[in-house]
Amino acid sequence: MIAIIDYGVGNLFSLQSSLKFIGADAEVTNDIAKIKAADRIILPGVGAFADAIAKLRESGMEQVVLEEAANGKPLLGICLGMQMLLEKSYEYGEHAGLGLIGGSVKPIAPMIGEGLKVPHIGWNRLIFPKDREKSKLFQYINEGDCVYFVHSYAGVDCDAFVSARTEYGAELTAAVERGNVYGTQFHPEKSGEVGLKILKAFCEL
């Protein structure tokens, strides 16, 4: 079973529907016992970093995520969920993240320059690093395939863990991974067939 962590942030049922569409057993839950019993965990997230990480901590699920990741269980953070995997965020102040992946989160506006809208909303192609093996998360898709983004902040100082980038005025972090911990800045559940193939790959990790 895949546990989609419900800590009071965002609509999680489109993600559950996408997983069920590909035949995966997925449950939206805030039950710590179920999360511990799950084969894989997904940490979703929308909204502001500080609010989301506070809710995760208040719910008692931060420690569960850290423990299960340390035990080697596959963990996927999506959008803000990916950002929370990093060490800190500079969204309206400075806030500590989960620290599962090195790096921080900063606004994209200074990176992309003038003339492009923030937030970055829409379909953009994935670019895979040339200096490392292709991620297993992307085993069923190709470089150049497009996925759907909605974000104003991006991971930085995390080059050692970047598994995909995208071009939007500058090269931005699209996905990260470290061992059994994976993160996508984009939304696989909103990325059509490409997104379903990424979720399928996660289900096989």
Catalytic residue list contains 133:
no
Catalytic residue list contains 189:
yes
Q: In what order do the strands lie in the sheet with 40-43?
A: 26-29, 2-5, 40-43, 75-78, 181-184, 171-178, 162-167
Hey, which residues does 106 pair with through a beta bridge?
A: 154
The active-site residue out of 95, 120, 151, 187 is: 187
The active-site residue out of 68, 91, 177, 189 is: 189
CB 68 within 8 A of CB 34: no
The active-site residue out of 79, 95, 177, 203 is: 79
Catalytic residue list contains 79:
yes
User: What residues are annotated to the active site?
Assistant: 79, 187, 189
